Structure 1
Amino acid sequence: MPPDYVIPILLLMVAGSSIMMTLTHYATGTSPIIFGSGYVPLGTWWRVGFITCVGELIIYAVLGTTWWRILGLG
């Protein structure tokens, strides 16, 4: 991989993993423990995960396009 692509690919991986961690009750190592303990019902987990995912996508879209404009790429 060319050195110029390392940082953008790492940022894409971080963005993708943060969205996936909030979306489902089995996405990360701690999620099954929290879900399995019965603190959060499945419907609530998916509803809050969806809302969080949409919020993160909006944040990434707004900040990302702003940052691209600052850099002169968009």
Structure 2
Amino acid sequence: MEKQDKNNNRMKKFERYLVPCPNCGKDILYHMTQCPFCKSEVTTEYYKPMNPDTARRIKLALAVIGFIIVIILLVFAR
């Protein structure tokens, strides 16, 4: 009984993030772009996927920062 109560409490936390799929009507998370049940494309008003060009720039910036950190660590490790 206690395990079931914990499970119900956990599900209540996610209820605010659920929206019905416009195709099959099953509950899906609001940020999903494809329904896991019927595999139809879902357009959401809450979540917009990141622009691929922006994602590429972020990855490049993180790679440069990581490279700089590695170089600094190698210099100070001597």
TM-score by length of 2: 0.34
**Using CA pairs below 8 Å that are at least 6 residues apart, which structure has the higher relative contact order?**
1
Q: Which has the larger radius of gyration?
A: 2
More strand by share: 2
